[in-house]
Amino acid sequence: MRECPILYLVVPCYNEQETLPSSAEKLKNKLAELCESKEISANSRIMFVNDGSQDNTWPIIEQLCHENTVFSGINFSKNFGHQSAILAGMMTAKDQADIVVTIDADLQQDIEALNSFIKKYKDGCEIVYGVRNNRETDGAFKKKTALLYYWILKKLGCNIIKNHADYRLMSKRALETLSSYKEVNLFLRGLIPQMGYRSDVVYFDVKEREFGSSKYTLKKMLTLASDGITSLSIQPIRMITALGLVVSLLSFAMMIWSFVDYFVSGAVPGYTTTIIVSLAMGGLTIFSLGIVGEYIGKIYLETKGRPRYIIESVIWNPDENNNKNTSV
Ligand code: UDP
Ligand code: MG
């Protein structure tokens, strides 16, 4: 099976009507080329996941599926986010596919890297991570915040592959393992390296987005960043404990100092010091409570165990459109 695997390309789509026709054509041609050179099986497919788009993305996917059986589509009941979209695609594809590669709809990630992904799989890897060579396509803000984020994650002791987003190959075996992770707080690029299978990286150049604009709003990016930290590490809570200890020691020292000062100089002016200390402590306490609250919020969501996505309909093949309601 490793010789000529069935490849499923999973493509999350959120308001991608401008990009889709061109990307679908390029993906189809690439798949055909890989089939012709016998690198992958002729049963390989391209699976679009419509993440609750408000534009014509789903009608375009339906049209593509009706024109060519190489395409299939999953339609979410609403927007669940990029991580849920790729998870849904992978979980739906894993029964048919030997390998699944997730790639963004704008094809900013170079599809020519697919040959190297497949080669690494044939060499025995269960997971292959796409790592970007450059960050030239990112604005100054995104570049700086991304680097700061990697730095923070590293300091928190998280095992994450630098400059790897979600362009990645996973084998059936790795996908089966992934399916046993039930967490709602999903940060795949942090979770998958924890599985520990044999893996490797493939480097690729990032291109400019040709059509439309980025669908990752600042809010979505901040949510992903926070999910990443809270799903991978409890260091922030430990840091609060350490901070609390240091502040307690300092307070104790100050108590002794005030006591001595009272007896030595008699008067206690220190109004400014009192205000500064109480304001700083108030700020610190609320901030610390916020961090603890963030974790409690995540525990709350996990215990409810709500579905990570809801599939409204699936198109596998133009002849057998099985509309079904699925949630995972
Ligand atoms: N995406 C998604 N759901 C969302 C936001 C984005 O499925 O809520 C998809 C989007 O359609 C694209 C991928 O995630 O295929 C990456 O988004 P984008 O290219 O806009 O992000 P950027 O490259 O700017 O970081
Ligand atoms: Mg993009």
pLDDT tens, 18-77? 999 999 999 999 999 999 999 999 999 999 999 999 999 999 999 999 999 999 999 999
Taking the C-alpha atoms of residue 131 and residue 133, their distance in angstroms, rounded to an integer, is 7
Distance of CA 134 to the CA centre of its chain: 19
Taking the C-alpha atoms of residue 109 and residue 103, their distance in angstroms, rounded to an integer, is 7
Q: Report the pLDDT averaged over residues 172-182.
A: 95
**Higher per-residue pLDDT: 208 or 57:** 57
Ligand 1 atom closest to 14 (CA)? 11
The single-letter code of the amino acid at 218 is L
* Cα 201 to ligand 2 centroid, rounded to whole Å: 20
pLDDT band at 286; cut points 50, 70, 90: confident
Q: Report the pLDDT averaged over residues 184-209.
A: 91
Q: How many CB atoms lie within 10 A of CB 288?
A: 18
Q: At residue 326, does pLDDT exceed 60?
A: no
Ligand 1 atom closest to 85 (CA)? 7
Q: How many CB atoms lie within 10 A of CB 166?
A: 19
Q: Report the pLDDT averaged over residues 245-267.
A: 82
Do the Cβ atoms of 17 and 60 come closer than 8 Å?
A: yes
Would you put residue 76 in left (φ > 0), alpha (ψ -120 to 50) or beta? beta
**Higher per-residue pLDDT: 138 or 57:** 57
pLDDT band at 3; cut points 50, 70, 90: confident
Tokens matching residue 171: 């084998």
pLDDT (0 to 100) of residue 327: 54
Ligand 1 atom 22 nearest Cα: 214
pLDDT (0 to 100) of residue 27: 97
% residues pLDDT > 70 (the chain): 95
Q: Report the pLDDT averaged over residues 221-240.
A: 87
pLDDT band at 324; cut points 50, 70, 90: very low
Q: At residue 321, does pLDDT exceed 70?
A: no
**SS3 (DSSP) at 50:** strand
Q: How many CB atoms lie within 10 A of CB 142?
A: 15
Q: Name the closest ligand to CA 49.
A: 1
pLDDT band at 267; cut points 50, 70, 90: low
Give residues (CB < 6 A) around ligand 1.
12-14, 16, 51, 79, 81-82, 85, 104-106, 108, 214-216, 220
Angle at which helix 218-232 crosses helix 271-304, to 10 degrees, equals 80
Tokens matching residue 153: 């994650």
Ligand 1 atom 3 nearest Cα: 82
CA angle 176, 178, 182 (to 5 degrees): 120
